[in-house]
Structure 1
């Protein structure tokens, strides 16, 4: 499943790291990086998806995010890679 057009964000701050999929948000703990990282999924909200097609996108996003083992930060992107796939974020 391609997540290219899904509304997915990641916010990294000193006090917290959070991810947002098309329906829910998740608190994350990220250890390491750049390079080898371990991502632990924390609290995940349980909002219903207004669009049933987004349920599969949401599940795929959480699966990929929970299996991240490597982070690469570029000038304009952050790439998270793992056993289940890759997430590429544009810096804002």
Structure 2
């Protein structure tokens, strides 16, 4: 069967597992003051410049910023980057 997700050595490979390996650590922050595309761009640029950050996802509707990194990052470093962009981290999102 060529459609199986299992390899010849009986290890399973699923999209969820490979996604975790590719994505790394996901941390979601609540950020206040974001209202438009400019806000999204400013946050993405500022947080994306932090060492170790591989991806930034900004959701204006929920006021959340998801930071993807290879390892855990110091929340204070992310908060400082957000602050430099003119916004405020109000904490980690639930």
TM-score interval, smaller chain: under 0.3
Larger Rg: 2
Q: Which has the higher contact order (CA 8 A, sep 6+)?
A: 2
State the TM-score, normalized to the length of structure 1. Answer: 0.26
Q: Higher strand proportion, which one?
A: 1
State the TM-score, normalized to the length of structure 2. Answer: 0.26
